[in-house]
Amino acid sequence: MDADRFEACAATVDVAHCEQVHPPFAKRSAMGSTAVQFTDEATPAEDGGVYFKVVVEGRPVRCQVSLDALQTHFEGGTGARPVDAYYLGRAQIHAAAEKMLRKQPGQTVVIRSSDIQII
C-alpha cells in the first residue's frame, strides 16, 4: 500500500518530495525500467556537434553527439549540416544515448563515433 501511495505521488509531483512524504523502506536502482523520452529539440554545439535533450524520469538531460560521429556515420559525403545529419541518424544516436544513460543515469552523455552502431 505504501508503494502505491508513493507511486501515485510521483505521478503528480517531484520524486524527491514523495520520498520525504512517503519514505521508502529500501531503494534500488530502477534504471532498467526508467522512462527515457527523446524530444525533437536539436541545436548546434560549439564544437560542431549537436546538442539534444532527453527526459529521464521527468528530468531533462542534455546530451551531445560529436561532429566526428555525425560526419562518419550520417553525412555520407553529402556535406549535410550537423543538425540535418543528426535527424538523419537519430534512431542510432538515440539508441546509443539510451544505452549510455542506463549506465550513467541522469548524467550528460557525449556520443562519439565509436558509440554508434549502424542498424
Q: What share of the chain is helix, strand, coil (3-state, %, to 5)?
A: 45, 20, 35
pLDDT (tens digit, 0 to 9) for every residue of the chain, 119 residues total?
666 776 776 777 766 776 777 666 555 444 455 678 898 889 999 999 999 999 888 889 999 999 999 999 987 556 678 999 999 899 999 999 999 988 887 788 999 999 987 65
Angle, CA of 100, 101 and 104, to the nearest 5°: 90
32: which residues sit within 8 A by CB, 6+ positions away?
102
116: which residues sit within 8 A by CB, 6+ positions away?
69, 72, 73, 89, 92, 93, 96
Largest Cα span, the chain = 58
Q: Model's pTM, two decimal places? A: 0.68
